[in-house]
Amino acid sequence: MKCFGKPLNILSFFFSPIFLFPSRIVFRYTSLHSMPYLTEVEKVDPELAEIIHREMAREYRGLELIASENFTSKAVLECLGSALTNKYAEGEVGSRYYGGTEFVDGVEKLAKSRALEAFKLNPSEWGVNVQPYSGSPANLAVYVGLLQPHDRIMGLDLPSGGHLTHGFYTPKKRISASSLFYESLPYHVNEDGVIDYDELERNATIYRPKMIILGASAYTRDYDYERVRALCDKLECLLFMDMAHTAGLIAGEVLKSPFQYADVVSTTTHKSLRGPRAGMIYFRKTDRNGNATDFEGRINQAVFPGLQGGPHMNNIAAIATQMKDVCSPAWKEYAKQVQVNAQALGKIMISKGHTLISGGTDNHILLWNTRVLNLTGSKVEKILDAVNISTNKNTIPGDKSAITPGGIRLGLCALTSRGFVEKDMEAVATFLERAIQIALEIQGETASMKLAEFIATFPSNDKLAALRKEVEEFSAKFDMPSFNGSDIKYKNGIPH
C-alpha cells in the first residue's frame, strides 16, 4: 500500500487549490501575513487610515518619554476592537438592566478577580469596580460615593505635581469638579520637591478634611503612607490613594503598597499598568479593624447610575487581559526595569550637569529643572518634539506660572515596554543633551525670545534635522509591543 501512497499524494497536489489558484493563495497569504492592521479602515476611510499610519510611524520612530503613556499589547488592542464594543451592560455582574449579558458578565468577573490578584488583595477585604471610563471619572466617583457636596478634601497642589482632580483651583477660578463641588485646601512639596508632610499635618489639623488624597501626576518619590494614615486616624478622615501613575510599579513590588493604609484606591489602567485607557476603584469591604463598610454599594452607585451609563465592555475585557499580564512573574521584571531605567537616566543626566527635582527618582518619573538652563519647559518640550522625542512641560517648585513652567517631566514606562535597558539610557541622555545645546544656540543671549519665534527657527535648522534623523534611526531598532514592524507603513520617514 505504501508504494501507492506517493503517486496519490502527488495527484492530490496537482488538484489542490495551491496549484489551481496560485495567485489567490499567494494573495491570501500576503494579506494575512503583512496587512492585518487597518485593512478595513483603509478601505472605508483612507483619509483617516493615513493619519493612523502616520501616528504609528511616529510612535515607532520616536522616543516616547511622556510619563503617563505606555505601549499596550496586541491582546489589549484586539479586545478594544472586539465585538464587546457592541454590548450594553448597565448594572453589575449578575444584575444588569439589559438582556444578553451572559458572556460580558464572564468578562467583567475575570477583570475584577485579576484586578484584585494583581495587588494580592483578599476579596473578602477589598472589592473593585472596573467600570470607570478613566482616571478622572474614577476620582469623581470616589468623591460622589464617599463624601457629601462641600465636604473638605486635601490633595497635593497641581503646581506641586498633584492632579487636577485632587481639588485644584486657582485664586480666580475653581478649575476641577473636585473643587467646584467640594471644598479643597492643597498641600505642597518643599523646595527639594518632596511632600511637606509637616505642612500637611499642620493645616489638616486646623482644616479637618473629610478626606486626604495621596498620589500625583508629577512626583518622583514614594509616599509616607504610615504618617498620613496616622494623621487620618487622628482626624477620623478617609485616606484616598490615587495610584494612577505608579500602579504598575506597586503591582511589581518595586514601590510600597498603599492598600494596608488606604480606605479607597483609584487608578488608571493605561499608564504604568500598560493596559487600555480606563479606570478602576478599589474599596475596602472591611475597615482596618475588620468591621464591614458600606463602601461597595456607595462606590458602585456613584459610578453607575451616579456618573456613568453603560460600561465599555471592550475596555473591561482589555483590563482583564492586561491584569493577567500584571499577575505574571514577568511583570516584576518589567516594573523593576522601569525603575532601573529611570534611575539610570537620572544619574547620567546629573553627571552631565543637569538638575533633577528631588535629586532623582523612586519611580518612573524624572522632573528636570530646565529653568536653571535658562530655558522654559515650553521651549524644551517644543524642541524635543521637533526631534521626535515626546515629553511634556511641567511646573517645578518655585514656578509662578503653569503656562511657562520651568521644567520637563520624563517617564520611562513606554521605552521600557519597547525593551530599552540601562545601557540605552546613555543614548537617550545624549539626545536630550544635544537638543538642549541646539535650543541654547537658537536662543543665544535672548532668553526672553518668544516661544513662537523660537519654533519658527526650527525648519531651517540643519542640526535639528540631523538630530531627528539619528533619534528616529535609533528608536526604530526597538520593537513596538502594539504592532508588528510589517504593519508600519512609514518605516523610514513620515511624509510632511
Q: Which residues are catalytic?
A: 88, 90, 242, 268, 271, 277
Q: Which residue, 109, 190, 118, 121, is CA-closest to 156?
A: 190
Interatomic CA distance for residues 478 and 451, integer angstroms:
33
Residue pair 252/334 in contact (Cβ under 8 Å)? The answer is yes
What is the arrangement of strands in the sheet containing 365-369, beginning at the earlier edge strand?
Answer: 355-356, 365-369, 407-411, 392-394
Torsion of CA 129, 134, 138, 139, to 10 degrees: 150
State which residue, 68 or 178, has the beta carbon closest to ligand DSN. 68
**Measured in Å, how far apart are the chain's first and last C-alpha atoms?**
66
- When the beta carbons of 107 and 319 are compared against ligand DSN, the nearer one is 319
Q: What DSSP designation does 358 have?
A: G
What sections of 353-421 are H helices per DSSP?
377-386, 413-417
Nearer to ligand DSN, 83 or 402 (CB): 402
Residues 417-436 that bind ligand DSN (CB under 6 A): none
The alpha carbon of 262 is separated from its chain's Cα centroid by a whole number of angstroms, namely 22
Least distance (Å) from ligand DSN to the CB of residue 315?
Answer: 16
Q: Considering beta carbons, is residue 217 or 337 the nearer one to ligand DSN? A: 217
Q: How far is the CB of 217 from ligand DSN (least distance, A)?
A: 3
Element (H, E) at 322: helix 313-327
Among 160, 184, 217, 314, binds ligand DSN (CB under 6 A): 217
Between 243 and 317, whose beta carbon lies closer to ligand DSN?
243
Q: How far apart are CA 201 and CA 219, in angstroms?
A: 19
User: Closest approach of Cβ 135 to ligand DSN, in Å?
Assistant: 5
SS3 assignment, position 157:
coil
Considering only residues 113 through 142, tell me which ones interact with ligand DSN, judged by CB under 6 A.
135
269 near ligand DSN, rule: CB under 6 A: no
Tell me, residue by residue from 281 to 320, as one string, x for binding to ligand DSN by CB under 6 A and - for no binding.
----------------------------------------
Question: Measuring CA to CA, which residue among 412, 420, 298 is closest to residue 365?
Answer: 412
Chain position carrying cell 506660572: 401
Closest CB 469 distance from ligand DSN, rounded Å: 28
| Nearest-angstrom CA–CA distance, 281 and 129 | 5
For residue 68, the minimal CB distance to ligand DSN (Å) is 3
* Count of helices and strands (H, E) across the chain: 20, 15
Nearer to ligand DSN, 138 or 373 (CB): 138
| Closer to ligand DSN by Cβ: residue 73 or 246 | 246
Kindly state the smallest distance separating residue 276's Cβ from ligand DSN, in Å.
15
The secondary element (H helix, E strand) that includes residue 467 is helix 462-475
Q: To the nearest whole angstrom, how small is the minimum distance from the Cβ of residue 314 to ligand DSN?
A: 21
360 contacts 441 by C-beta, under 8 angstroms: no
- Grid look-up 479586545 returns 79
Which one of 37, 68, 303, 323 is in contact with ligand DSN (CB under 6 A)? 68
**Of the two residues 135 and 193, which places its CB atom closer to ligand DSN in the complex?**
135
β-pairing verdict for 355-356 and 95-96: unpaired
**CB closer to ligand DSN, 135 vs 248:** 135
User: DSSP for 255-315?
Assistant: S--STTT-SEEEEESSSTT-S-S-EEEEEESB-TTS-B-SHHHHHHHIIIIII-SS--HHH
Q: Is the dihedral of CA 477, 482, 486, 492 positive or negative?
A: negative
- 242 vs 487 by CB, closer to ligand DSN: 242
Q: How far is the CB of 486 from ligand DSN (least distance, A)?
A: 31
State the DSSP code for 236.
Answer: T
Taking the complex as a whole, how short is the minimal distance between the CB of residue 272 and ligand DSN, in angstroms?
11
Number of residues interacting with ligand DSN: please give it, by CB under 6 A. 4
Question: How near is the Cβ of 182 to ligand DSN at its closest, in Å?
Answer: 18
Tell me the three state secondary structure of residue 29. Answer: helix
Cα distance between residue 447 and residue 359, in whole Å: 25
Binding footprint of ligand DSN on the chain (CB under 6 A): 68, 135, 163, 217
